[in-house]
Amino acid sequence: MTEIPRGTVPEQTFYEQVGGEPVFRKLVHRFYEGVAADPVLRPMYPEEDLGPAEERLVLFLIQYWGGPRTYSDNRGHPRLRMRHAPFTVNREAHDAWLRHMRDAVDELELAPEHETQLWRYLTYAAATMINTPD
């Protein structure tokens, strides 16, 4: 194990830099408020309560950005494409997902460099989930 020299502050993860769990909970809660009323995305959630899906996304993003590994501890490897395979994810769903995520990101009022980094990942992730041509 490498010892950190005295007086040196270890580099913070993105998760820590943006404010930790409360920030990711706010992001995902706002996102699912949009999903709840979306005619394209809502049918992808067969359960009436979106709470379990919201919790899964919160835990995934927390882990991805350097927070606790609770997602993998509970669900194993994320396997995002496999988990989304049963659903029709086309360009329309992609665009709807990003529209609600954009609203959620904007409400966080992150520092510009954090917003850019987060948005870059979210747009990449959304593009990789497309599994049905238009």
Residue by residue, DSSP assigns 94-119 as HHHHHHHHHHHHHHH---HHHHHHHH
* HSE-up of residue 55 (Cα within 13 Å, Cβ side): 7
Q: What is the pLDDT of residues 2-42, one digit of tens each?
A: 555 666 666 899 999 999 999 999 999 999 999 999 999 99
User: 31, 121, 43: which is closest to 86 by C-alpha?
Assistant: 43
* pTM: predicted TM-score of the whole model, two decimal places: 0.86
What is the average pLDDT across 89-93? Answer: 92
CATH topology of domain 16-129: Globin-like (1.10.490)
